[in-house]
Amino acid sequence: MNNELKFTGERCIPEHMAGRIKTYQHHLNRYSFALMYVRKKVVLDAACGCGFGTNLFYDVASFAFGVDNSQEAINYANYKYNGIFNVCDLDKDFPTRNFDIVVSFETIEHLNNPEFFIDNVKKHSNGFLFSVPIEDPNEFHKHVYTINDIQKLIEKHYNIIDWFSQRGLNITKGINNKSKYLIGYATNN
């Protein structure tokens, strides 16, 4: 079996990021930020890609589970990283177990039906940590969101949301209109 994963520019694959060190650092910063939320928790990394984030969670979470719709990415994750990895199309399905937290970075914009996904996250977890790129059209994105669009989508499902902004390598509390990513931690507790 070939355990190499093709780099498309969309999925973060650390060994293919030498020419894109800032992009890699942006991804790494989001996952490092998430570590304080996943400590000693049962965590789902939804749309885990190649699994490098799930692998980071593995050392601090009580259980780290990653899902992605790409069989190729899951094969790579199972070969390379710690954690449990399975194929799951989040537009149609969701793992049947419950989680303390679902972490899902740069996923919502890829889904045909983000409402289905968010409903399942809410049903199967106590917390939802997510990021969404702001006004970032590309060939992989099915939706382009403004800050207002993201807020409305999440606020339909959750009543407690801590908002953060990522601009470059900095993640700051609150919403900054100059940020490239909006990050949120949502719960109804």
Model confidence pLDDT, tens digit, residues 18-74: 555 565 566 678 899 999 999 999 999 999 988 989 999 999 999 999 999 999 989
Q: In the structure, what pLDDT confidence band is assigned to residue 141 with cuts at 50, 70 and 90?
A: confident
Tally of structural domains, the chain: 1
For 108, the domain range is 21-187
- Look at residue 9 and tell me if it is in a domain: no
- Look at residue 77 and tell me if it is in a domain: yes
> What's the pLDDT at 30?
87
Start-end of H helices in 59-159:
71-80, 114-124, 147-155
SS3 118: helix
* Mean pLDDT, the chain, whole residue set: 89
CA distance 98 to 79: 25
Q: 75: which 2 tokens? A: 């094969």
CA distance 60 to 77: 18
- Look at residue 124 and tell me if it is in a domain: yes
**Whether residue 160 has pLDDT greater than 70:** yes
> What's the pLDDT at 2?
45
Spell out a b/e string for 140-177, using b for 16 or more CB atoms within 10 Å of the CB, else e.
ebeeebebeebbebbeeebeebebbbbeeeebeeebbe
Higher pLDDT, 30 or 7: 30
- Look at residue 12 and tell me if it is in a domain: no
SS3 181: strand
Segment among 116-120, 135-139, 183-187 with least mean pLDDT: 135-139
**Whether residue 86 has pLDDT greater than 80:** yes
- Look at residue 11 and tell me if it is in a domain: no
- Look at residue 13 and tell me if it is in a domain: no
Residue 25: in which H helix or E strand, if any? helix 21-38
Q: What is the CATH number of the domain that holds 53?
A: 3.40.50.150
- Look at residue 167 and tell me if it is in a domain: yes
SS3 162: strand
Segment among 3-12, 21-30, 49-58, 85-94 with least mean pLDDT: 3-12
Q: Which residue has the tokens 């293919």?
A: 16
- Look at residue 16 and tell me if it is in a domain: no
